[in-house]
Structure 1
């Protein structure tokens, strides 16, 4: 077990494994629209976090799946991170999780049985913390380790939080600090110390439970979580869905302290460059915004924070809700405004 490094068994890790947003859009553009299913409240139209299907006047089913390759070497931590990340999509729709199924692909001739067991135990521990059963799943013998969940939840049909309902003037609140992908790259290089690893684990295993309370607030107009496309990519999805632009104040972004120095050194996953290339002309940085800050905003986040677009008169109350739920780093980072769907970043 001491000689096994999960991150050396795969070509990518965490949400950095995602296909670049521009390529994904090309892959999906030929899919038929689901207009013939009136009870499908949320499908693929706006690249939202989960599908939502109305069951009756009081309940809608939230369904999602998420899985990836290891972002850390510790098997138990890998399982915890993957499960937390998968369940986050339920919270991002304003839903309450009710059930999970495991997705397991393991190189059974390479990875010891004990390591596989610890991955599964880590995922189960997070499901227990979320108060839901891990009720089964599916497993295959795969060339690289893969773990994740199918997650199901419930929400009132009138309280679904889409990523496309932001309004001009809304304040943007980010629930968790940025820098997860950068810390993962530092770990692979062997330069991440124990405190940096602790920051990484504490953030990626914190369930985005605030989403349940946010669902009840009419002032929360739009909601998503920040994962593999980075803050800029997922904010662009909000802009495109609402037909608005966004302004981000780079100085107000919450950052993992351990990630700052590594970002300034240029350390980070390849997903940063793929994300920046995908954004093209839709992200505009002021000349004073340093390259390292530009990169950290495109950093692939694994199990990142909720991003909420909130009516300005309720922004402080929603920020207090995040803090009360244990998201100490939650911050107001900018606002939505009229204009074409682009992101403007000031220093």
Structure 2
């Protein structure tokens, strides 16, 4: 049985049998509905009035509700993937930057003690994303739903001292867009799920800061009809989503933009690696697919004061179009074809002998 690869985030979980040149076959939301038992009340509600509540299984990239994660994985592995109880296979998980040790141990414990897997492995998303474009060294800027990770990777290992994690992501950009649309459409009642779809349809990135300022004053407006029939006007607001990544003060953050963060991080690595890292930069996450985003990133990179300027990796032609969105899963599929056949993974016997701490020795 081929190994299963699971890449979970704050918005989506991606899973499937390891097939490196294909998109993950199972992509489902990580937000779940929890049905309350009789007499149980949701926080802030009286008993008997609420039947179900929404649960955020993953928050800012990390598992926050393990009961919900167990239910989600049970559905994915046995219903979607087709595992049978008593005949579970091997599994590889992707990990976000700076995953705490106790979360790694909880995951491996869940897999062996609840799901009875025959083998386990975990690897960081930055490393796997580079594997997907045929690199073992480079830099990744992963703009997830709940966080942004900037990570230099040297010879297949994340250089943690030079990496940075930001507690902002696509959800914060959606909220920003909602605020701006509400200002220009005060009579429209906006649902955040509608704003998310508007962001995906209309958001664009200005070619530079000068164009952004120009668009703030004279941007052609379009009308969009919401599912409930309300009509909303979208103009300059479409540009603020991408601009916030290069001017974080728009989000209220006292931080440099993503290009400067990348260059600053790499400066903490030995100078002989700078060219190899910066000239193999990869943009990951759904936001990276925004119209004009890659062009703006390269434009800002060309203005960098760094002696070696960042350059984006061109993905192999045989890889799917959604590589930026699914790169960690695809890299995981590549790695799964190596670690399990070569017995580099955590086995059931090793787990039984050592316990959850084995994950730190075998998965690094």
Same fold by TM-score greater than 0.5: no
* TM-score (norm. length: structure 1): 0.29
* TM-score (norm. length: structure 2): 0.28
In terms of Rg, which structure is larger? 2
